[in-house]
Amino acid sequence: MNTSTALAAPSPYWQSPDGRITVYHSRWEDVHAAGLLPVREVALVHADPPYGIDVATDRSKSKGGKKFPKIVGDNAPFDPSGLLALGRPSVLWGANNYAARLPDSYAWFVWDKLGTMEPFDGSDAEMAWTNLGASVRLFRHMWRGVARGSELSTVGMHPTQKPVALSSWIFTRAKLKPGDLVFVPYLGSGPDLPAAVAMGLRVIACDVERWCCDTAIGRLGAITPEKAAEPVGPLFGGAARV
């Protein structure tokens, strides 16, 4: 007799009222293994995985910065083989850090983060591998701490936060149509969600960090019942500031 216990399939952490956006607080591999990802329907895999560079996440010394948790999995080389095995149109950010484990491609996306600013200690740009074809394409959008081309009110959501404008540009480059399904295996701060809503897209997204899931759905004005039940305010957090 088989006495092994089957693992329960992940349940949605949050789903939009219209069912178009589904977020799992889970590894994407577990969601896929449970049959919850309709792979053939996926029009685009948009991934911003841990790059395997153990990026510093303590930004508390910079203006508006915070001390974030370390990025799960960033202390080991990233293996893109699982995402590639899905066989879907894909955009994988940070791919210059694991390019040796990717197929050759003449089509890359480059995000110029400087705009008209001078170079600084951080990266001047970020690069994404893609199998969408065409040529190398450049997206210019200033994004340096509090000096940003957009989203000035969202500073400090995530240590590797990307702009909604970048997600919108990628979705446009991928020629997505209303109703198309985007798979986001590493949700992070969730810029894909408002971009997808604005374009009428569907999304299945995953993240192993609950705080990332909460941050992402918060962009849509949503909150989980568990988060709403957490004690907050002066009764629990000390005297109110006046």
Give the residue-averaged pLDDT of 206-221: 93
In Å, how far from its chain's centre is CA 128? 13
Of the candidates 57, 59, 82, 61, the residue with the CA atom closest to the CA atom of residue 71: 57
Neighbours of 13 (CB within 10 A): 21
Assess contact for 116 and 71: CB atoms under 8 A.
Answer: no
* Global pTM value: 0.85
* Distance, CA of 46 to CA of 229 (rounded, Å): 32
What DSSP state is assigned to residue 45? E
Q: Which stretch, 6-20, 42-56, 136-150, 183-197, has highest mean pLDDT?
A: 183-197
Of the candidates 170, 183, 121, 107, the residue with the CA atom closest to the CA atom of residue 141: 170
What are the angstrom distances between the C-alpha of 163 and each of 43, 135, 156, 170, 194?
21, 23, 12, 11, 10
What are the angstrom distances between the C-alpha of 142 and each of 14, 136, 145, 150, 152?
31, 19, 10, 8, 11
Q: What percent of the chain has pLDDT over 70?
A: 76
Q: What is the DSSP string of 49-74?
A: ---SS----B-TTSTT--BPPPPTTT
- For 169-203, the pLDDT digits (tens) are 999 999 999 999 999 999 999 999 999 999 999 99
Reported confidence tier of residue 1, pLDDT bands at 50, 70, 90: very low
Supply the angle between the helices 192-199 and 164-173 in degrees, to the nearest 10: 50
For the chain, list the domains and their CATH numbers: 14-223 (3.40.50.150)
- For 80-138, the pLDDT digits (tens) are 999 999 999 999 999 999 999 999 999 999 988 887 666 666 788 999 999 998 899 99
Q: Compute the mean pLDDT over every residue in the chain, rounded to the nearest whole number.
A: 84
Strands 90-93 and 125-130: antiparallel
Of the candidates 184, 186, 206, the residue with the CA atom closest to the CA atom of residue 195: 184
